Structure 1
Amino acid sequence: MPTSRTTPPRETKAAILRKLLGRKNGADIGTLQSATGWQPHSVRAGLSGLRKAGYTIDRTDAAKPGGTATYRITGGPEGAR
């Protein structure tokens, strides 16, 4: 009798965004781009989608001139995270 192998569920790009944004220091657009393979406008659309789903995302301006803003999830919908 052959054994059946089940493949683990694929990690979605939205899940990747949630994981990176859930870190203590959050993530910038460049980090989110490289993790998902998305263009900057698609990353921002993903952030909007998370906001519509009930997540609170804080944006922290760059500490140095010429730096990039950092985004971080600070709250989520009930039962999420």
Structure 2
Amino acid sequence: MTINKKNEIDAPKIGTKEATLVSALTGKGASITQLSELLGWQPHTIRAAFTRLRQRGYNIERLKAEGDASSMFRLKPAPVKRRRAKA
């Protein structure tokens, strides 16, 4: 994934855990716990994946939770270049 000349972010390869992570962060978002259960990753691995996504141009926002609930994370909308599925 790289940022191209039009400032669009290339979408991750379809079917990868990275694509699953991006999909889970799109829209409402998810907590570290939810992402850990979804991907089978430890929390520190989720945070490292956030760093890699940020380095590639994704803008991840943290939504502070009320009370004892964990924070939610989601992607801020940005132009994304879609990949076609290979036949």
Query: TM-score, length-normalised on structure 1?
Result: 0.77
Cα distance in 2 for partners of 1:59, 1:18 equals 14
Query: TM-score, length-normalised on structure 2?
Result: 0.72
- Report the identity percentage: 37
**Aligned-residue offset at 1:14:** 0.6
Matched residue of 2:81: which SS? coil
Cα distance in 2 for partners of 1:72, 1:55 equals 10
1:49 maps to 52
Letter in 1 for 2:21: L
**Aligned-residue offset at 1:11:** 1.4
**Aligned-residue offset at 1:78:** 4.9
Cα distance in 1 for partners of 2:65, 2:82 equals 28
Aligned residues: 71
Cα distance in 1 for partners of 2:44, 2:34 equals 14
Structure (1 or 2) with the larger CA radius of gyration: 1
Cα distance in 2 for partners of 1:55, 1:76 equals 8
Give the alignment's Cα RMSD to 1 decimal.
Answer: 2.2
1:31 maps to 34
1:3 maps to none
Unaligned runs of 5+ in 1: 1-8
Runs of 4+, deviation exceeding 3 Å? 75-78
Structure with bigger RCO (C-alpha 8 Å, 6+ apart):
2
Question: In structure 2, do the counterparts of structure 1 residues 54 and 80 end up closer, same or farther at CA, with 3 Å as the change threshold?
Answer: farther
